[in-house]
């Protein structure tokens, strides 16, 4: 039997509609900054999508383009303007950045209270300690899409394939939070994991964020497992995920498509993080 499709595009529209309704009742619109370094064509598409989605829900979006040659110090200076700007509720520095930029310095340079990406070490620490301020958008989108589709997380064995700072690591921390959206038993696997297929086959929920087109075939998936594909890879045949959708959908009970799965959920969660930051700042009189 073919798997249920977990339609992130449809659900992200609902989330954005709910976000819009909340924003209509605020005394001022939330404001989101996006700093873009260089001309990466994929980043350009993602940033346009974020900007459009923000504007549609009533978030004022300020895109700040920087040249690819900007130094780490120069970028920190631009970030400082966003940190100081009283109207900006949150901002992100779009990744990837050119290789000469020091990512740790950038992560440390965001005002933690405006860090809607949740990448500042303080916010990573709060999430790890179980009292998150900002849950990074992709992990949050994965969890909300599973919840919306009635997939139980609590008590389940989740295997995350990939240990990136953006997805794998914060997702593991989020799934370990106490409560219905966490309480999972989490394994983080990666390219060096021995017996990778066997480890993945233990999963009730398998999340794949490894950045290799169609890497996960049906051999990695236990009959009836839920499979979440975070990959977006450009191939000659068009966009595809890290999961071999055609074979895995015959084994899984539910699966996210690419495109139309986690990608749109990530954008919706960035908007929610921005709205929540605005609400917190308004309560503090900012
Ligand atoms: N590039 C791909 N995903 C992300 C994300 O979640 N945040 C930022 N800042 N850049 C990204």
Query: Does residue 1 surpass a pLDDT of 80?
Result: no
Q: What is the pLDDT of residue 138?
A: 98
List pLDDT tens digits, range 19-33. 999 999 999 999 999
Mean pLDDT of 209-236: 97
Cα 227 to Cα 2: distance, rounded to the nearest angstrom = 13
List pLDDT tens digits, range 128-169. 999 999 999 999 999 999 999 999 999 999 999 999 999 999
50 is an active site residue? yes
Catalytic-labelled residue, pool 115, 117, 204, 242: 117
Q: Are residues 101 and 195 in the same domain?
A: no
Within 6 A (CB) of ligand 1 lie 92-95, 117, 137-138, 166, 266
Mean pLDDT of 25-44: 97
Nearest 5°: the CA angle 36, 140, 129 is 100
14 is an active site residue? no
Tokens for 143? 């969890």
Q: Are residues 207 and 161 in the same domain?
A: yes
Distance between Cα 138 and ligand 1 center (Å): 8
In percent, the amount of the chain with pLDDT more than 90 equals 98
Residue 153 forms part of a structural domain: yes
Q: What is the pLDDT of residue 251?
A: 98
Mean pLDDT of 1-11: 95
- The SS3 of residue 190 is coil
Identify the weakest region by mean pLDDT among 80-89, 152-161, 216-225, 232-241. Answer: 232-241
Residue 181 forms part of a structural domain: yes
Residue 196 forms part of a structural domain: yes
Q: Are residues 248 and 152 in the same domain?
A: yes
Domain extent for 81: 27-111
Residue 46 forms part of a structural domain: yes
Tokens for 166? 């953006």
156 is an active site residue? no
List pLDDT tens digits, range 176-199. 999 978 999 999 999 999 999 999
Q: Are residues 107 and 189 in the same domain?
A: no
Q: Are residues 146 and 242 in the same domain?
A: yes
Q: Are residues 38 and 101 in the same domain?
A: yes
Atom index in ligand 1 nearest the CA of residue 137 equals 6
Cα 231 to Cα 262: distance, rounded to the nearest angstrom = 9
Cis peptide before 259 (omega within 30 of 0): yes
Q: Are residues 149 and 258 in the same domain?
A: yes
Residue 273 forms part of a structural domain: no
Alpha helices in the chain (DSSP H): 8-24, 41-57, 72-84, 103-109, 121-129, 137-148, 168-175, 196-201, 245-248, 262-283
Which of 93, 88, 114 has the alpha carbon at shortest distance from 104?
93
Residue 3 forms part of a structural domain: no
Query: Left (φ > 0), alpha (ψ -120 to 50) or beta: where does 253 sit?
Result: alpha
Q: What is the pLDDT of residue 229?
A: 98
Mean pLDDT of 210-230: 98
Q: What is the pLDDT of residue 286?
A: 87
Residue 26: what are its φ and ψ, rounded to 5°?
-85, 160
> How sure is the predictor about 261, in pLDDT bands with cuts at 50, 70 and 90?
very high
Q: Are residues 229 and 148 in the same domain?
A: yes
Q: Are residues 208 and 168 in the same domain?
A: yes
Q: Are residues 106 and 149 in the same domain?
A: no
Residue 121 forms part of a structural domain: no
Q: Does the pTM of the predicted model rise above 0.95?
A: yes
Q: What is the pLDDT of residue 181?
A: 82
CATH of the domain at 58: 3.40.50.10860
Distance between Cα 130 and ligand 1 center (Å): 23
Q: State how many domains the chain has.
A: 2
Mean of the per-residue pLDDT values for the chain? 97
């Amino acid at each position: 039997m073919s798997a249920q499709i977990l339609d992130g595009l449809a659900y992200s529209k609902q989330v954005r509609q709910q976000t819009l309704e909340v924003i209509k009742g605020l005394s001022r619109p939330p404001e989101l900054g996006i700093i873009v370094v260089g001309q990466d064509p994929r980043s350009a598409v993602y940033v346009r999508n974020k900007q459009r989605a923000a504007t549609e829900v009533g978030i004022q979006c300020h895109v700040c383009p920087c040249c690819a040659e900007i130094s780490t110090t120069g970028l920190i200076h631009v970030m400082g303007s966003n940190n100081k700007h009283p109207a900006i509720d949150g901002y992100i520095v779009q990744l990837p950045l050119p290789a000469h930029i020091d990512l740790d310095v950038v992560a440390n340079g965001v005002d933690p209270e405006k860090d809607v990406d949740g990448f500042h070490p303080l916010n990573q620490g709060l999430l790890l300690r179980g009292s998150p301020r900002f849950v990074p958008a992709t992990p949050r989108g994965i969890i909300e899409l599973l919840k919306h589709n009635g997939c139980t997380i609590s008590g389940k064995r989740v295997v995350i394939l990939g240990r990136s700072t953006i997805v794998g690591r914060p997702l593991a921390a989020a799934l370990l939070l106490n409560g219905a959206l966490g309480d999972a038993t989490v394994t983080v696997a990666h390219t060096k994991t021995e017996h990778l297929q066997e480890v993945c086959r233990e999963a009730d929920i398998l999340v794949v964020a490894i950045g290799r087109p169609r890497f996960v075939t049906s051999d990695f998936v236990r009959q009836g497992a839920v499979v979440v594909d975070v990959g977006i890879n450009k191939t000659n045949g068009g966009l595809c995920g890290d999961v071999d959708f055609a074979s895995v959908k015959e084994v899984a009970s539910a699966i996210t498509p690419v495109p139309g799965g986690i990608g749109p959920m990530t954008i919706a969660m960035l908007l929610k993080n921005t709205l929540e930051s605005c609400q917190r700042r308004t309560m503090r009189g900012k």
